[in-house]
Amino acid sequence: MTDALPTDRETLDARIRRAPYHQWLGLSIVEVGDGEIVIELPWREEFVVNPEGGYAHGGILATLVDLTADWAIATRLGRPFPTIDLRVDYHRAATKGLLRARGKIIKLGSSFSTAEASVEDEAGRLLASGRGTYATSTK
- Reported as a single tens digit per residue, the pLDDT across 73-95 is 999 998 999 999 999 999 999 99
The verdict on residue 27 lying in a domain is yes
pLDDT single digits (tens) 96-135? 999 999 999 999 999 999 999 999 999 999 999 999 999 9
Residue 20: which CATH number? 3.10.129.10
**Number of domains observed in the structure of the chain:** 1
Give the Å distances, CA to CA, from 23 to 9, 38, 85, 96, 118.
Answer: 17, 17, 24, 19, 21
The verdict on residue 3 lying in a domain is no
The verdict on residue 131 lying in a domain is yes
pLDDT at 2 exceeding the cut of 80 = no
Overall size of the chain counted in residues? 139
pLDDT at 1 exceeding the cut of 70 = no
Q: Which domain holds residue 129?
A: 9-135
Q: Give the C-alpha separation, 112 to 81, whole Å.
A: 10
Q: Where are the beta strands (DSSP E) in 13-136?
A: 28-33, 36-41, 48-50, 55-56, 83-90, 99-107, 112-120, 126-135
CA proximity to 115, closest of 134, 139, 88: 134
Q: Give the C-alpha separation, 95 to 54, whole Å.
A: 6
